[in-house]
Structure 1
Amino acid sequence: MQMIQETADLSAYLAADEVIDHHHPLVRETAARLADGVADSYEYARAAFEFVRDTIPHSQDSGDMRVTWRASDVLERGTGICYAKAHALTALLRAEDIPTALCYQKFDVVHGLVAVRFNGAWHRQDPRGNKPGVDARFSLEGERLAFTPDSASNEMDYPVLYAAPHPVVLDVLKAAPDRPRLWNTLPTAL
């Protein structure tokens, strides 16, 4: 799949904002802990990916009713759906100066993941969380995502690499008082 940067300026994929708040003390502290003892940025990226994938449960899988959207809140509360987990991973990677984009797939609803830039190319990663039938892995050598779109079913990969969360996704997250209501308002397209 040909990925398209939203902006040519790579610094946009290192920026902090209200959602990707990598300047927040909890994000900085978590990033420093994950970086301790790792050999290079690739090893750090893998450690951050596995931390988000494995220690922050997907709220639908765990039954957690809380909705998180800001990276620091995802880390503090230890829960989130795919978008929120992608926000947390993006913040952790950007905290260590690894260009990271947000990207999306379309199934029955829009699914969120990230892309990291290594060796002059973007590599998509899916920190959603594994469960029976889902085995996402960190990889720069071929994608190991949670889900593969089926074009015959109108599923697709959106090609744009966003520097900030897509407004449709963010609006839905911010408006939902709990996960059951969030589930009823998840976007079906961008």
Structure 2
Amino acid sequence: MELIQQVPEISAYLVADEAIDHEHPLVRETAARLRADSEGAYAYAVAAYGFVRDTIAHSADSGDMRVTWRASDVLATRNGICHAKSHALAALLRAEGIPAALCYQRLAEENGDPGPVHGLIALRLPGRERWARQDARGNRPGVDAQFSLDGERLAWPIRPQFNEVDYPVLYAAPHPEVLRGMKAAADRAELWRTLPAAL
């Protein structure tokens, strides 16, 4: 899929904001720990991806009702939905100078009804001209997302028959509707009602 930069300056994808708070001490400490065991940007990106995918539970899988949206809170609670985990991964990447963007998909429920918008990231490693989308949602039976630069290995392929869509835009900050929905929800049950079904 051809990704479209919404912001022309690559530096926009390194900025800290309220959700991708990579200047927070916990984000910095986590990044430093991952970097210590990784040699080079590629190895660090793989380690950060694996850390977020495998050690931070997707709250819909774990049953955790808490809603996290700030990267540092996601790392502190080890909990979050796809958007929260994307914020955490983007923060860990940006903390080490790797440009990271937020991306979105419009997905449907198994019965074809619209579901909430799904969140993932794209990164651009040094020396590479192309962005590569990664999905750190967390694997489970039927979901096998993997880090890949050469071919996408996302949690879910798009099903056109259900009007699912890959949004090609690279967002430097969380989409306002997504962030508003996350902030407004008192718990995860309410979150499914406050998140947008389309962008």
TM-score category of the 2 structures, normalised to the smaller one: over 0.9
Which stretch shifts more, 52-61 or 180-189? 180-189
Residue in 2 aligned with 1:44? 44
1:8 paired with 2:17, answer no
* 1:71-110 → structure 2 map (5 Å cutoff): 71-107=71-107, 108-110=115-117
> CA separation in 1, counterparts of 2:166 and 2:82?
15
Q: C-alpha distance in 2, partners of 1:178/1:127?
A: 21
Aligned position for 1:167: 176
Q: Which amino acid aligns with 2:6?
A: E
Question: How far apart are residue 158 of structure 1 and its match?
Answer: 0.2
Please list the CA deviations of residues 112-165 of structure 1 after superposition, one character each: whole Å capped at 9, or x if unmatched: 000001211100000000000000000101000000111121001001000000
Query: Matches of 2:161 and 2:16 in 1, distance apart?
Result: 38
Among the aligned pairs, what percent are the same residue? 66
Structure 2 residue matching 1:165: 3-state secondary structure? coil
CA distance in 2, matches of 1:16, 1:95: 9
Q: What is the CA–CA distance in structure 2 between the aligned matches of 1:121 and 1:98, rounded to whole Å?
A: 13
Structure 2 counterpart of 1:188: 197
In the alignment, structure 1 segments of 5+ residues that lack a partner are: none
Map Cα deviations across residues 28-49 of structure 1 (whole Å, 9 max, x no partner). Answer: 0000000003111000000000
1:113 to 120, 137, 145: 120
Matching residue's letter, 1:172: G
Contact 2:184 2:194 in 1 (8 A): no
**Separation in 2 of the partners of 1:21 and 1:64?**
23
**Could you say which residue in structure 1 is the equivalent of 2:147?**
138
SS in 2 for 1:64: coil
Report the residue type matching 2:103 in the other structure. Answer: C
Deviates more, 1:101-110 or 1:88-97: 101-110
Q: TM-score, normalised by structure 2?
A: 0.94
- Runs of at least 4 residues off by over 6 Å: none
CA–CA distance in structure 1, aligned partners of residues 180 and 37 of structure 2 = 38
RMSD value over aligned CA atoms? 0.7
Query: Paired residues, what number?
Result: 190
Q: What TM-score comes out, normalization by structure 1 length?
A: 0.99
Matched, 1:53 2:53: yes
SS at match of 1:147: coil
Q: Given residue 167 of structure 1, which amino acid in structure 2 is its aligned partner?
A: P
Equivalent position of 1:31 in the other structure: 31
